[in-house]
Structure 1
Amino acid sequence: MNNKEMSYLEKIFGRSAQTLVLENLINKKGEFTYLSGIARETGLSHSSVARVIEPLVESDLVIEKRMGKQIRTFTINEENPVAKLIIEFYNNLSALQDEK
């Protein structure tokens, strides 16, 4: 999907920074990614990503792993029951969108 094409997730919940970050992490599940990488891939500023990722970490939907004192990496928490439901929901929506 290109950047101009809106995903079903965006169509339903709107184009918000948190939705974009969550979708980015779902698409990269199983791998840790840097804030700057998320910002680049979503088109958001580094500060916007940092702001919206905090509640995701606090709710345990996202795992943060620090590398040194300043480098932070993130991944979707595939063991969290709510995250599992969100991933399943996202995958089902993506499958519907692919059928069109």
Structure 2
Amino acid sequence: MPDDKQRKPGVSAVMQRFPTERRTIEQLAARSEDFCDMCEELAEAERALLLAQALPAEIRGERTAEWLAVIDRLIAEIGAALRTVDLIPIGRADQPKSRS
């Protein structure tokens, strides 16, 4: 697995948010472009939040709130992806089991 210097910024951002899920994050990032996109979106939103802190006071609060909402949404989506990655489909309930 790559070390922190070789890892994409998005994956590193997710690992900071979910430190106990490092292995799952690396595995999912290695096989899912959609997951990597969410990770990159999180890193970009975190950068935008930092930039919003430097905006003039009259717009800072609104922009900060907007980026915090984006970050919260992405964290929820990433968390859901991490929770479902380990689910193993056993079979569909509407399919009868075959008997050998």
Question: The TM-score by the shorter chain falls in which range?
Answer: 0.3 to 0.5
Normalized against structure 2, the TM-score is what?
Answer: 0.33
Q: Which has the higher strand share?
A: 1
Normalized against structure 1, the TM-score is what?
Answer: 0.33
Q: Which has the higher helix share?
A: 2
Q: Highest CA radius of gyration, 1 or 2?
A: 2
